[in-house]
Amino acid sequence: MDFVLPTRIDARPVAVVGAGTLGRRIGLMFATRGGQVRIYDPSAGAGADACAYVRAELPKIVECIDGGAPGEASSTTDIAAAVAGAWLVVEAVPERLDLKRQVFADLDRLADADAILASNSSSYPAARFADAVARPQRLVNMHFYMPPAQSAVDLMSSGATDRAVLDLLLAKLPRFGLFPFEARAESTGFVFNRIWAAVKREALAVVAEGVSTPQDVDGMWRVNTGPPGGPFRMMDQVGLDVVLDIENHYAAERTGLPEGPRRLLERYVDAGRLGVKSGAGFYDDYRASA
């Protein structure tokens, strides 16, 4: 089937599928130009929390964007209602290939024929689920980090993505305070995440081997690099279950990666210490915000 680029973009909503840590942040960024963002999640509570986050953060983010204006965010437990009329649909569901395949099959069926379908997957190339959609020309990887603090975005073709889709996103995303960078060949982990994975894996290995502690690694990171936090604080923010899923995916594709970092993550996940979202991870001081 042929694919035609979306028109009347400024008059149409953006839909975000998934109201978790990244889903709500993606919604925030697309609400910065006076438009409408719809956030779908099967949990009504998660959707309401995501909208509350957008409303609270939006005024100060709009001030930092040239031409910014507060938009509106709404949530729904009806995926068809979320994507109706949207020019862009961004998937932000857990990092499970079977789930992503099902989500994109549903989106392909429910979204407007000219809607761009984008995956926020942190490690899966969209080529892995391109056969789930009838128009793979509109399917693209659009991976976010942690906006608004980290507003870089990886763009990567599914192998069948229409070049015009990539060019449109490269031109439009900066209007929302985002900084797109194109991965010019298929790459598990895209650009920055491949580099970050090596840093993260070695940090985990240092702790798994008893050489240091999460707190000392982060302390040395701050002293030597300047930014607050450190590898273990960052992993707590993402969610240690998500970090483990990503590491398992890398290990499945790249033989010979050390097991120690994954075993360490498994101990924390099995103990329910998932990071900020559970109140404790490598650190214990998240209870007030959990």
Q: Give DSSP secondary structure letters for 179-194.
A: EEEEESS--TTTTHHH
The CATH architecture of the domain made up of 192-283 is Orthogonal Bundle (1.10)
Q: What are the pLDDT digits (tens) for 208-230?
A: 999 999 999 999 999 999 878 89
pLDDT at 95 over 90: no
Q: What are the pLDDT digits (tens) for 161-170?
A: 999 999 999 9
The stretch 82-101 carries a mean pLDDT of 95
Q: What are the pLDDT digits (tens) for 118-146?
A: 999 988 899 999 999 999 999 999 999 99
Q: What are the pLDDT digits (tens) for 271-289?
A: 999 999 999 999 998 875 4
Alpha-carbon span 288 to 253, nearest angstrom: 38
Task: Write the DSSP symbol of residue 281.
Answer: S
Do residues 165 and 141 make contact, with C-beta atoms less than 8 angstroms apart? no
| Fold of domain 9-183 | Rossmann fold (3.40.50)
At residue 160, the pLDDT reads: 95
The full length of the chain comes to 290
User: Residue 216's closest CA among 228, 232, 199, 197?
Assistant: 232
Spans of all domains in the chain: 9-183, 192-283
